[in-house]
Amino acid sequence: MKTNLSVNINKIATLRNARGENDPDVQQVAVDCERFGADGITVHPRPDERHIRRADVMTLRPLVKTEFNIEGYPSPEFMDLVLKVKPEQVTLVPDAPDALTSNAGWNVAAHFEFLSNIVDTLREAGIRTSIFVDTDPENIKMAAKAGADRVELFTKPYADMYPTDPEKAVAPYVVASIAAHKAGLGVNAGHDLSLENLKYFHEQVPYLNEVSIGHALISSAIYLGLETTIKRYKECLV
């Protein structure tokens, strides 16, 4: 099956915000990513707007022609934003407002009623939902019971172990992806996937619909250029 590449452009906004002007242009980068072969654009607007801003999300909506994926903790403010924008996909993450980056998946059972209500609201708006989770198969089954369309597997543990033991690193993700598929869920993955570890992950993990990659991809683009970098990431998914 085809695995899509969604480019997270948060780091572009971080660089722009450092000078308080519009360089680099977040909207133009999103358009360019699609032109260079990206299958989607991901953003993660945080309450402090330290990278992607709410205004960026609104401006990007008519520009993104592939798939628009908005990640975030489903606070009232976040839900208000995504229900106005209506992206193709919303990825629900359990981050605290001051979290530097995502560092764990949801304990779905512990937040089952909350997540079920959020998923119902998004479904009524015609938005596909993905719940950010670790690799525990029972937790993944709970995501299916909550009504999610997909799960996104948190891949930092894989990335951390890959250099020393790639087979051991990927094994839980194979089990998790199979469990998700059996539960009727699509499978996304993201966090610290890179040009070094993505190809092996893709070769080993079945049923992989989409990977969302930001920091590593933008970092590689500094050296290789954005077009070449996106092409190399896409080659890892063949």
Catalytic residues: 44, 71, 191
Tokens for 128, please give them: 């596909």
Contact 131, 92 (CB under 8 A): yes
In this structure, what DSSP letter does residue 147 have? T
Beta bridge partners of 129: 90
- Please give the Cα distance from 58 to 56 (Å, whole number): 5
Tokens for 174, please give them: 């194979």
Q: H helices of 97-165, where?
A: 112-124, 137-145, 156-161
What's phi and psi for 131, nearest 5 deg?
-105, 125
Please report, for residues 60, 76, 96, 162, 224, the alpha-carbon distance to residue 210 in angstroms, rounded to integers and kept in the order given: 20, 27, 25, 20, 23
Beta bridge partners of 8: 42
Q: Which helix (H) or strand (E) holds 11?
A: helix 10-17
Tokens for 59, please give them: 């401006």
Contact 172, 210 (CB under 8 A): no
